[in-house]
Amino acid sequence: MSEEKTYSGSCFCGAVEFTVSGEAAAMGSCHYESCRHWSAGPVNAFTLWKPEAMEITKGEDNILTYNKTENSYRKSCNTCGGHILT
C-alpha cells in the first residue's frame, strides 16, 4: 500500500503555512482576465485540490479574502500579500 504524499507551502513571509495531501485533482494554466490580474502576468499556473485535501497549519487569522468575481474568493497573506489560494 502506498503512502499518501503531503506537500507544504507558505506565503512569502511565512506568516501563513498550509499543506495539501494526496493527488491534485487537476493542474494547468489560465489565461482569463481574472487569473491574469491575480498573477500580475500573462498566464497563471495552478493545481486544483479537493477542499478536504488542504489544511491551513499556521496563520489562518492572517488570511485576507477578496471577492474578485461572484464565484471567486482569492485568499492572500495580510502581511506580505503572498497568494495562498482561490
Does residue 1 lie in a domain region?
A: no
Position 53 scores a pLDDT of: 97
Position 37 scores a pLDDT of: 83
pLDDT digits (tens, 9 = 90+) for 4-54: 899 999 999 999 999 999 999 999 999 988 888 888 889 989 999 999 999
Provide the residue range defining the domain that includes 54. 6-85
| Half-sphere exposure in the Cβ direction for 17 (13 Å, CA) | 6
- End-to-end, the C-alpha distance of the chain in Å comes to 32
Q: Into how many domains does the chain fold? A: 1
* Helix-, strand-, coil-residue percentages of the chain, each rounded to 5: 15, 50, 35
Does residue 67 lie in a domain region?
A: yes
Position 2 scores a pLDDT of: 62
| CA dist., res. 24 & res. 50, Å (int) | 8
CATH number for the domain spanning 53: value is: 2.170.150.70
